[in-house]
Structure 1
């Protein structure tokens, strides 16, 4: 057996107000809250667990690249340009701070959005072929 990492199971996101952030993730991103107290919230989003962890003022999951640009550490995938543009419009309509749809010189398009604590997330219009196949298989399984 080859030992290898299979998937990312949990992402930790620093926030100032756990309850406020958990509600925002539920209302804006469609997350399901499975646990919440004053120190952390556990959310189910995009087939993964997100822990919103109460952190010090100014903490984010962002980093600065060598050119001095503030960068995201996580990219969500959607299935195609139509879904990307619809989601982008929905976020803007709901008041989510959202960047423009960009061509970054690779297949597909991207945009960034920000949570209330300034954590930056990316969205890409290309759903990975492996995940797409798994989703198709799961749909077929439920239809049986």
Structure 2
């Protein structure tokens, strides 16, 4: 059997187009497609095959926006810089936690109240 890969993460949102613009502006995702049901985003620079799919109410998803837990993690090269950037966009990221030898991280919420986990690896 070929190795299994994760190709997308799903996050419920109220408005896929508005959320896609936020993820683009604040986290640097590139918008691949947007319609009334969803928005598909890819990491800046198009690296990797993994995408982020923002599912709106028209998609039929049963989960409501405002997830209190992270569906995936967002890895960044510089955690302190990412935290500062989010603060600059009016977000209120939590404190940086974790072990520098294992993984450092913080949580922040998107405009729909979904918890996002930002990590250094």
TM-score tier by shorter-chain length is: 0.7 to 0.9
Superimposed CA distance per residue, residues 62-95 of structure 1 (whole angstroms, 9 cap, x where no aligned partner): 3xxxxxxx4322112223xxx1001111111111
Q: Give unpaired runs (5+ residues) of structure 1.
A: 63-69, 127-144
Aligned Cα root-mean-square deviation (Å): 2.5
Q: Which residue of 1 aligns with 2:108?
A: 113
Q: 2:88 aligns with which of 89, 93, 103?
A: 93
State whether residues 38 and 54 of structure 1, in contact with CA within 8 Å, keep that contact through their aligned partners in structure 2: yes
TM-score (norm 2): 0.79
Tell me, yes or no, if the aligned pair for 1:33 and 1:43 is still in contact at 8 Å.
yes
SS at 1:4's partner residue? coil
The structure with the largest alpha-carbon Rg is: 1
Distance 1:30 1:105, change over 3 A: closer
SS at match of 1:116: coil
Q: Which has the higher contact order (CA 8 A, sep 6+)?
A: 2
Unaligned runs of 5+ in 2: none
Contact 1:97 1:115 in 2 (8 A): no
Count residues in correspondence: 114
Q: Give every structure 1 segment of 4 or more consecutive aligned residues whose post-TM-superposition deviation is greater than 3 Å.
A: none
Distance in 1 of aligned mates of 2:31 and 2:99 = 33
TM, length-normalised to structure 1: 0.68
- Helix, strand or coil at the partner of 2:12: strand
Match of 1:22 in 2: 20
Instruction: Report what 1:52 is aligned to.
Output: 54
